[in-house]
Amino acid sequence: MPSRWSRTYARHGCSSSRRRPASAVPGFTLIEVVVAIGILSMVIISVFMLVTVSAASLKDSDMRNTATNIANYTVEYIRSRNATLDNPLGQTGSAGYPGLIDLGSNPVGTTSPTYAAALSINTNPALPGITPTADKFYSSLQGYVSLADTPANGSLSSEDGNAKVVLGKYLDATPRSVTRSLEAPYVVRFPLVSGASGIKNFTALTGYNGYIYTATTGTGTFGSDQHYTTDQANKAGARAYTGFRVLTQIVARSSSAHVQYYDVQVTVFWIVGSAEHSYSVATEIATY
């Protein structure tokens, strides 16, 4: 039975337990919420930036590895085309060797048009250490694709935005200066042929012009290269492509009438974002 004191507490609306003060109820003030959101936002942004930078770095690393393989393959391909006196590689006559068999005095005929003739660096080598003149310097820019074995004649090849097909042969279609009016034949054939099994790692986009935009015109060991341009108007077109493109530069060197060695440089270009990247390898290829 309730005691007298219990009845008194009940009559005044009291109980034996104490109520928690309103100020002690758990929660966060507005300032605390804003600060927490700010800290969380900084963490999320930092993580996002780290992931973005890591992805871009990984892509560039992967592209550079591919470019390295392309450059090394190109050098070895050129080395394999080096005919010597004791190994003419099927060539006939003294004009075919020693030297690179794809750079003879006339591999694609003498009939019109005149650009069907090739540069005669095999029979007109430059002295060692001398910047070569136009007739002693070879340069060709091509996309990393498998060219067809029997190309059809036409203004431009469907496989490569840099290629012009004339008389069933691939020629470099980059515009030339007056002193470099002869088109350079392609010396590099990448593995496989065109079609489903071919390499298709270059696409010329709308406005592509076949130049390399840079601060110089490529002067130096390999002479003034017609593929380089400093014209701002050509910048966008020079980078309007996806995949890889390959610049091959060759100078025949000799202190006598026959080629003794070649200075060879292969540069592979690719686009990441809006910037063009490149990887180069240079070597000497001896002949005798």
Backbone dihedral angles phi then psi of residue 28, each to the nearest 5 degrees = -125, 145
Confirm whether 261 is domain-assigned: yes
Give the percent of the chain with pLDDT over 90: 25
**pLDDT, position 109:** 39
> Which domain, by its residues, includes 211?
55-286
- Work out whether the CA dihedral 170, 108, 167, 149 comes out positive or negative: negative
- pTM for this predicted structure: 0.74
Confirm whether 167 is domain-assigned: yes
What is the mean predicted confidence (pLDDT) over 192-206? Answer: 86
Nearest to 281 by CA among 265, 261, 262, 270: 265
**pLDDT, position 132:** 81
Confirm whether 43 is domain-assigned: no
pLDDT digits (tens, 9 = 90+) for 19-54: 555 555 566 788 878 888 888 888 888 777 777 666
Higher pLDDT, 209 or 149: 209
Contact 99, 82 (CB under 8 A): yes
pLDDT digits (tens, 9 = 90+) for 133-190: 766 788 889 999 998 877 777 667 778 888 887 777 787 877 654 444 456 678 888 9
What is the mean predicted confidence (pLDDT) over 50-72? Answer: 82
Residues 142, 14: Cα–Cα separation, whole Å:
94
Confirm whether 60 is domain-assigned: yes
Confirm whether 275 is domain-assigned: yes
Strands (E), the chain: 82-83, 99-100, 137-143, 163-166, 169-172, 202-204, 212-213, 228-229, 241-253, 261-272, 275-286
**pLDDT, position 111:** 42
What is the mean predicted confidence (pLDDT) over 259-271? Answer: 92
Higher pLDDT, 218 or 22: 218
Residues 135, 272: Cα–Cα separation, whole Å:
35
Confirm whether 29 is domain-assigned: no
Nearest to 248 by CA among 88, 130, 102, 125: 102
Would strands 212-213 and 228-229 be described as parallel, antiparallel, or unpaired? parallel
Domain count, the chain: 1
Contact 161, 208 (CB under 8 A): yes
Say if residue 241's pLDDT is above 70.
yes
Confirm whether 33 is domain-assigned: no
Confirm whether 42 is domain-assigned: no
Contact 203, 242 (CB under 8 A): yes
pLDDT tier at 237, thresholds 50, 70, 90? very high
Residues 91, 262: Cα–Cα separation, whole Å:
19
Give the percent of the chain with pLDDT over 70: 70
pLDDT tier at 233, thresholds 50, 70, 90? very high
